[in-house]
A and B are shown apart, each in its own frame.
Chain A
Amino acid sequence: MHKALLAAACLAVIAVPARAQDVVLGAVLPLSGASATLGDDQRRGIELAVEQINEGGGVLGGRKLRVIVEDSGGRAPSALDAAKKLVTVDKVPAVIGEYSSGITIPIGQYLVQEGKVHVNIGSSSGRIRALGDGAFSVIGLDNVSSGFAADDVIAQGWKTAAFIAPNNAYGQGVAEQFQKALKERGGEVVSTVLYTEGQTTYRRELQQLERGRPDVYVYSAYGKEAATINREAFELGLNSTPWYAIYLSMCTTDADPKFVQGQYGLDLNNIGPDGKSYEEAYRKKYGENFRTSFNGYGYDSVKLLAAAIDKAGSAEPAAITKALKEIGNGYQGATGDITFDADRQRSKQPYLRLKIEDGTKQR
């Protein structure tokens, strides 16, 4: 017994410095649940960045970079547990994630409270702005995308819109912003439905929505839920009216192409001028084109954090925060120019106008 303890103690002493060689970061992503496809794509971006950094000699003068990815299951409680594990067990200075705003906000709050760095790579609720010092976003928030969507809808000649989104921080935010933006431009949202997440049918919600007899259905929904909504809209014959998706790749990545044919939408212009080499590396490693438009933000977040750690010469949260603020000013990432505003949110976010016609095409 004593020998075993002694051996364990020796091992611990030997093991600790060996582990300290690596600089370890954390990520909480939805690898299962409704957004699993998107979460896995975010993971790919992170994976690629880590590989490239380590091939290029790692960080802090030759130490290897490692990112521990935890599954959130698309649920806030599991995501919080995962973030707590990363902070208390793995002792990471920074955590990347999640995808859905309703989950990003609580883990962001927890990380800020713990004095760690949080990097949002997929959520766009306006409430993320208020998370506090230490929380960064490398993706543009709702106020920007809603205005863009409203401009686009009006430009297509549609006056009335019916709006459906999930009943969470993201959906509530975008519903409010879009309604306001469309009204300012002379249009009107005639019916708004916020659906409960994780159901197997949205027939009733869609039937409520169609009562407004809109010129266009505007929606934003997570992968698998969007697939259900698209199928049921097809089964109800609602697809004879145009559909407009806010974040088209999020809304259609899991859908049968038959049901989303002819849909309009906006998406993140996720490839900046310097993004071509990233796009090629992704295609080479995974043997396909981008699954969604969200992987690049995962990639950029890791690259930014690594650059900040190198600049600060330390992997301490406070030093990283300070360095991130300095680097995030005209930083040329794969997703374009990353410049943080005073609230540490990405201030410039280009979007694309898209339409699905036998594959996604730019309009």
Chain B
Amino acid sequence: MVQFLVDVLIRAVDLALIAIGLSSVYSLIRFPNVALVQYATTGALLALALQMAGLPLLAAGIVACLMVGALAVLLNLMVFERLLRAGSAIAMIGSLALSMVFSAIFLVTAGPRAQRFELDIAPPLRFLGARVTEHQLIAAAISAVAIAGFALILFRTDLGRCMRATATNSVLARATGIDTRKVTGTVVFLSGVMAALGGIGIAVKGEMSVHLGLDMLLPVFAAAILGGLGNALGAAVGALVIAMAETLVTNVNFGPIFGQSLLFIPAAYATAASFLLLVIVLLARPYGLFVSEVKRV
């Protein structure tokens, strides 16, 4: 049971960082940015390249996060702002196209092989019968701190107030003197940093391939939609629910029903379970579990 909770938490923090970024950017500029999951891969690959170049992992991670944040702002100014003038559907398709470009660039630069950070691997720590590795603990702790930090910014600072005001009614916010472009830029930067951090967190725990981001696309979207697109902290709860569904489905032993001692659903079907859940929830609550501050377009 404890192992189950540990597995859920580990998976949830993987999803949460990117889902929060997706949801908060959506709340401001009203389109779900598919390329965000590729920022996660970019972050992980950059951090790996920097570590190989001789930087300690911590420094490599920080530099990679900042670079990806800057990249997110740059792409937002150069690509998405223009596409958004034509409508949010166009911008979303544009972001899908951009994420394909990212995939091609990863294949050319990093190659198709899975890679790992140079880290020592120790036997697992035992905790109430559950096994956790040091790297899992560290990655989860850093992610939790990042999520808490984002929540603090959102609810305790002027910047957060401006963000929420812009999200609720951007015309009114501009009229009251808020520089909404600057607010959007800041949130886009933070979303890039969080996505990169999420990607690095996944890579530290195991291996990373160029598909790291695309593999996360569906569960991350499911988490963000489940939490109510545009509701940043709802996305965190959504991630927890999706993680729980995925872990539950691969852990339940269906053997007794079919007269065998052990029978599991293949782990590759875990994502399908999270989607079934998403469909059921959306049928009952079309705007997600938590009504967001903004109605969706």
Contacts and interface: CB of A to CB of B under 8 A. Distances in A.
B209 A204 contact: no
B270 interface: yes
Given A208-B267, A228-B207, A33 B112 contact: yes
Contacts of B209: 200
Nearest to A162: B262
A237 B123 contact: yes
Interface in A208-251: 208, 211-212, 224, 228, 231-232, 234-237
Nearest to A224: B114
B123 A32 contact: no
Interface in B78-115: 112-114
B250 interface: yes
Contacts of B114: 200, 224, 228
Nearest to B251: A207
Nearest to B134: A235
B121 A235 contact: yes
Contacts of B3: 207
Interface residues of B, number: 29
Interface string A311-337: 000000000000000000000000000
A195 interface: yes
A295 B7 CA distance: 41
B131 interface: yes
User: Interface of chain B, helix or strand or loop or mixed?
Assistant: loop
A235 B133 contact: yes
A203 B262 CA distance: 18
Nearest to A213: B262
Interface in A264-293: none
Interface string B61-84: 000000000000000000000000
Given A200-B212, A237-B123, A193 B264 contact: yes
> Which secondary structure dominates where chain A touches chain B?
mixed
B256 interface: no
| Tier of interface size on chain A | 20 to 34
Given A200-B206, A201-B207, A231 B121 contact: yes
A196 B266 contact: yes
B7 to A, nearest CB: 8
A194 B113 CA distance: 22
B248 to A, nearest CB: 11
A22 B211 CA distance: 42
B208 interface: yes
B124 interface: yes
Interface in A23-50: 32-33, 36
Contact of B131 (A32, A193, A196, A237): A237
A191 interface: yes
Contact of A211 (B113, B121, B123, B262): B262
B253 interface: yes
B131 A73 contact: no
B176 interface: no
A171 B113 CA distance: 22
A200 to B, nearest CB: 4
B37 to A, nearest CB: 15
A208 B248 CA distance: 12
B208 A200 contact: yes
Interface in A164-208: 167, 190-191, 193-196, 199-205, 207-208
B268 interface: yes
A82 B287 CA distance: 50
Given A200-B206, A234-B123, A235-B131, A224 B267 contact: no
Contact of A208 (B124, B261, B264): B264
A232 B206 contact: yes
Nearest to B135: A235
B266 A191 contact: no
A111 B250 CA distance: 40
A190 B262 contact: yes
Contacts of A199: 268
A224 B206 CA distance: 13
A195 B264 CA distance: 12
A259 B123 CA distance: 10
Nearest to B205: A201
Nearest to A258: B121
Contacts of A193: 264, 266-267
Given A204-B250, A208-B250, 6 more contacts: A195-B267, A200-B207, A204-B247, A205-B267, A211-B262, A228-B207
Interface of A: 32-33, 36, 73, 167, 190-191, 193-196, 199-205, 207-208, 211-212, 224, 228, 231-232, 234-237, 256, 258-259
29 contacts: A32-B113, A190-B262, A191-B264, A194-B266, A196-B268, A200-B207, A200-B208, A200-B209, A200-B211, A200-B212, A200-B215, A201-B206, A201-B207, A202-B267, A204-B267, A208-B250, A208-B262, A208-B267, A211-B253, A228-B207, A234-B121, A234-B123, A235-B123, A235-B124, A235-B131, A237-B124, A237-B131, A258-B121, A259-B121
When A and B form their complex, which 6 residue pairs have the shortest distance between CB atoms, in order from nearest?
A204-B267, A200-B207, A196-B268, A208-B264, A191-B262, A204-B250
